[in-house]
Structure 1
Amino acid sequence: MESWEKKDESGFEAWTGGTSKLSVTVVPALGAKAVSLLNRATGREWLWSSGKRLGNRGYASPFGDSDESGWDEMFPGINACVYPQDPWEGISVPDHGEVWSLAWRAEAEGKELRCSVNGERFPYSLDKIYTFSSENTLRIDYTLTNKSASPFSFLWAAHPLFRAQEGMRLRVPEELREIEVSYSADFRLGRFGDRRPWPIPEVGVDLSVIEPPEGSYAEKYYFTDKLKRGWAELSDPVSGEAVEFRFPAERVPYLAIWANYGGYGGHYHFAIEPATGRMDDLAYAISGDEAATVEAGGRYRWYLELTVR
């Protein structure tokens, strides 16, 4: 295993760590986002870049005004909304949450990169520790600490934008047979809350196969059932390469997919999004008892493992 090295990434301090088969580069000042996930064995860069200058317009700015690239954290909400419960009732939750647009603290300790941030409008801290659990597996351990005297409900989802390529395939646990639409740019899948069968929601559409870049589709959907096993995989049948997520279903019980085939910003990318709640809007998730909750003064822990091959 290699140690973490500090470097410059488009004018920002960044940390790169890895093994002989895999490396990741994290930019603490930009939400501790990952801007590179490289399969060193094959030279394949998995994370998508918009080509925009790296950066954002600061706390609570629209995500679309940022570089939109790489792998961000979405927390404590996803869509902009208003927190519905006391003692924070009426407080706004920014677009894509708080933490993606905040500067995190970061420190390398041996084989670990430790990153942490405090909430702005809500009393919490979020910590994550990057390590490599094997030569081709990145592990991220998360700890959410509630610094208040009241329970705090939240949504967290990973937001890794992968480079899409026509014909790539998505695999999910076989028990997942239905999706619920959060967003569909041209309403191909329907409107918010509409349910469709997976993977064939209608004739001529197979959601498990990446579509060409020339389309006008952009869609976000959640699988309706809670996961029994936390995993999903995106593979390239041409090269035989793949990236696979594994995570604890009892702590991260939902799975969402963002597929952009030119319908949003003209971009072409694909995201697998393990999530602690459903349907992007925190208030909506709370009303349906589909948000996670950390007790007063308590901690909520989970992890992601990402394997490349």
Structure 2
Amino acid sequence: MSVVLRGGHGMRMEVRPELGGRITSLTTGDGFEWLLPSTDADRPGYGAPFLRPGMGGWDEVCPSVSADVLEGGRLVPDHGDVWNIPWDVKAGSSDHLTLQTDLVSVPVKLQRTISRSQTGFTFSYTAATRAAGLHPVLWCAHPQFFADKRTIVRAHPEEPLAALGLVEEYPEKGRHHHFPLRPLLNELKKGTSFKAFVPPDVHISAATITQGGGSRLRIGWSADELPYLGLFWDNGEFASQPALAVEPSTGFGDSLSAAAAEGLVLSVSADQDLSWKIHLSG
């Protein structure tokens, strides 16, 4: 069942709490639909294959993007524990919705509130645990935005954009690139994709996507709360049509275990919750 939320400047979204809290529609005031269609069967279930016909929308990915094996042999399925399981509705109205769920592979509770702001929507997250010790948590925003050969993404760093580099995550992990100043989908062969991260010592606090017709979406966050940024361009390798993802994250890379080994992921403890926010504006 879809929950409709209305934000500032005419922004509107539809959310499916029973399908991992997935956002299945996001439109700005000009009526532009930003998300690829989410048309897969309405069958929630832990550990279901993420790559599937009809995948689209904006999913919650936590505590790892890639399938992983954690300390003690605990398994994390592809794209994490929570993207396809029902979330509990804690509160809601036409301009805000609070959902909550428990992770399976780590003893962490994740809560998300989406609320209306003057310019669009604010996403407020909290990860909490009652278990002893530190628990690394790799969360990232995971929208599948519409993109074509005219779609441009710009990051907003503390240094000139032309000097900003990227570290490739897929398909050839570790290669270094310049930040693309032109639409990257023009350079990707059909049936291929490219994912990369901004170097972990570079602080980014926002990204703006501009479509060829002029529609614009800004995604903002605090670099202290979300210190890492992944970017993903898919020219039909995984999704049924070209897509772009802007993925501010609590960890560097797609693997929780690798990020934890390198000390490049945030952790939660019984004494200290993790909290972060995402701001959307048209």
Q: Same fold judged by TM-score > 0.5? A: yes
> Aligned to 1:244, what secondary structure does the other structure show?
strand
Q: Residue 9 of structure 1 aligns with which residue?
A: none
RMSD value, Cα: 2.1
Give the alignment of 1:43-62 within 5 angstroms: 43-49=31-37, 52-56=39-43, 58-62=45-49
2:179 aligned to 185, 198, 203, which one?
A: 198
Q: Which has the larger radius of gyration?
A: 1
Kept in 2: contact 1:137–1:307 (CA 8 A): yes
Q: Which residue number corresponds to residue 146 of structure 1?
A: 129
State the Cα distance separating 1:112 from its structure 2 match: 2.2
- In 2: Cα distance, 1:214 partner to 1:28 partner: 36
User: Residues 67 and 103 (structure 1 numbering): CA distance in 2 closer, same or farther, change over 3 Å?
Assistant: farther
- Distance in 2 between residues matched to 1:94 and 1:207, nearest whole Å: 34
Give yes or no for contact 2:128–2:270 (8 Å, CA) kept in 1: no
Alignment of 1:73-88 (within 5 A): 73-84=60-71
Q: What is the CA-CA distance between 1:239 and the residue it aligns to?
A: 2.7
Is the 2:191–2:236 contact (alpha carbons within 8 Å) kept by the matching residues of 1?
Answer: yes
Gaps of 5+ in 2: none
Q: Deviations over 1:211-248 (max 9, x none)?
A: 38972321111111344341011102x43221111011
State the Cα distance separating 1:207 from its structure 2 match.
6.0
C-alpha deviation, 1:155, in angstroms = 0.5
Q: How far apart are the structure 1 equivalents of 2:41 and 2:228?
A: 30
From the superposition, tell whether residues 229 and 178 of structure 1 become closer, same or farther in structure 2 (CA, over 3 Å).
closer
**Do the aligned partners of 2:141 and 2:247 also contact (CA within 8 Å) in 1?**
yes
Aligned twin of 2:17: 28
Q: Report SS of the residue matched to 2:66.
A: coil
| Structure 2 residue aligned with 1:279 | 253
Distance (whole Å) between structure 2 residues aligned to residue 213 and residue 26 of structure 1? 31
Q: Which amino acid aligns with 1:197?
A: H
User: After TM superposition, where is structure 1 displaced by more than 6 Å over at least 4 residues in a row?
Assistant: none
- TM-score where L is the length of structure 2: 0.90
Secondary structure at 2:4 match in 1: strand
- What is the CA–CA distance in structure 2 between the aligned matches of 1:149 and 1:269, rounded to whole Å? 40
Displacement of 1:133 in angstroms is 1.1
Aligned residues: 276
**Distance change in 2, residues 1:110/1:164 (3 Å):** closer
- Counterpart in the other structure of 1:188: none
**Paired position in structure 2 for 1:260:** 234
Structure 2 residue aligned with 1:251:
225
User: 2:27 maps to which residue?
Assistant: 38
Counterpart position of 1:202: none
Asked if 2 retains the 8 angstrom alpha-carbon contact of 1:81 and 1:282, the reply is yes
Structure 1 range deviating more: 250-259 or 265-274: 265-274
Return closer, same or farther for 1:226/1:102 CA change in 2, 3 Å cut-off. Answer: farther
TM-score of the aligned structures, taking structure 1 as reference length? 0.83
Return the structure number with greater relative CO, CA threshold 8 A, min gap 6.
Answer: 2
Q: Is this contact kept in 1: 2:125–2:275, CA < 8 A?
A: yes
Aligned residue identity for 1:146: T
Instruction: Quote how far apart the aligned CAs of 1:295 are.
Output: 2.0
Residue 226 and residue 66 in structure 1: after superposition, are their counterparts in 2 closer, same or farther (change >3 A)?
farther
- Equivalent position of 1:306 in the other structure: 280
Change (3 A) 1:221 1:212: closer
Once structures 1 and 2 are overlaid, which stretch shifts more, 114-123 or 149-158? Answer: 114-123
Contact 2:130 2:269 in 1 (8 A): no
Runs (5+) with no aligned partner, structure 1: 1-12, 185-190, 200-205
Question: Counterpart amino acid of 2:27?
Answer: L
Is this contact kept in 2: 1:212–1:261, CA < 8 A?
Answer: no
1:293 to 257, 262, 267: 267
2: CA distance, partners of 1:224 / 1:101:
30
1:94-118 deviation line (CA, Å, top 9, x unaligned): 1100010210011315742111001
Distance change (3 Å), C-alpha of 1:110 and 1:49: closer
The one-letter code sitting in structure 2 at the alignment partner of 1:183 is: Y
